[in-house]
Amino acid sequence: MAETKISEYVTLVSNDGYEFKILRSAACVAGTIRKAMDPASGFKEAIESRMTFENLNGLVLEQVCLYLYYHQKHAEARDVPDPDVPQELLLELLMAAEYLQV
């Protein structure tokens, strides 16, 4: 059986069709994405390196992607300032964070 090459990037797709191509390592900061993208899971998302979120629109998913990179960049740092987040998206981002296990 041939071994599948794991892509360095994954594509996250919002419910309104926006696509965000981000580093797999950043995406896997989120527990839900990490589990779905695990090659051992056998999930379609892992095989295609693509995950669609029917419950997240493009504005929210963009902020999620920014946060995943922010978290990865500052993972070992101390006294990290909070990222700037648009006030009008706070509730939706909170729900997305819960769903994504961030």
What is the pLDDT, as a whole number, of residue 4?
62
pLDDT digits (tens, 9 = 90+) for 32-63: 999 999 999 999 999 999 999 999 999 999 99
Per CATH, the architecture of 9-100 is what? 2-Layer Sandwich (3.30)
CA 22 vs. chain centroid, Å, equals: 8
Statement: residue 6 has pLDDT above 90: no
Q: What is the mean pLDDT of residues 22-32?
A: 97
Average pLDDT score, the chain: 93
Residue % of the chain over a pLDDT of 90: 82
Cβ-based neighbours of 37, under 8 Å, separated by 6 or more: 10, 24, 27, 28, 43, 45, 46, 49, 51
Higher local confidence (pLDDT), 1 or 25? 25
pLDDT digits (tens, 9 = 90+) for 62-101: 999 999 999 999 989 899 998 889 999 999 999 999 999 9
d(CA 9, CA 69): 13
Statement: residue 2 has pLDDT above 70: no
What is the pLDDT, as a whole number, of residue 3?
57
- Taking residue 19's Cβ as centre, other Cβ atoms within 10 Å add up to 12
